[in-house]
Amino acid sequence: MLSFLYKLARQFEHRHGYRPNVLHLNHCHFKRLQQDLAAIHDLDGMNQFLGMEIVVSVEFAQPHLAWTPVDWQNAVAV
């Protein structure tokens, strides 16, 4: 999952000229990301490691990156 997200982030940055700061995932992809980042035990640590906020929702079929001017403090789960 990490290599896939890295590839998405590089594509996003190349396309837009700036880095994404939001990662949209569904619950299944979030669990895979947690497995990849098993050494990080909390969501804040995951956010810091990735350099972006994590939004988890059943509405996201595939991981998606975005940028928002909102400086969130916590990830959102729907």
Segment 29-58 shows an average pLDDT of 94
Is the CB of residue 50 less than 8 Å from the CB of residue 44? no
11's enclosing H/E stretch is helix 2-16
Q: Which residues contact 4 (CB under 8 A, 6 or more apart)?
A: 63
Q: Tell me: the pLDDT tens digits for 57-76? A: 999 999 999 999 876 655 45
**φ and ψ of 23, to 5 deg:** -120, 120
Q: Which residues contact 36 (CB under 8 A, 6 or more apart)?
A: 1, 2
Q: Which residues contact 34 (CB under 8 A, 6 or more apart)?
A: 46
Q: Tell me: the pLDDT tens digits for 5-18? A: 999 999 999 999 99
**Please, what is the average pLDDT of the chain?**
90
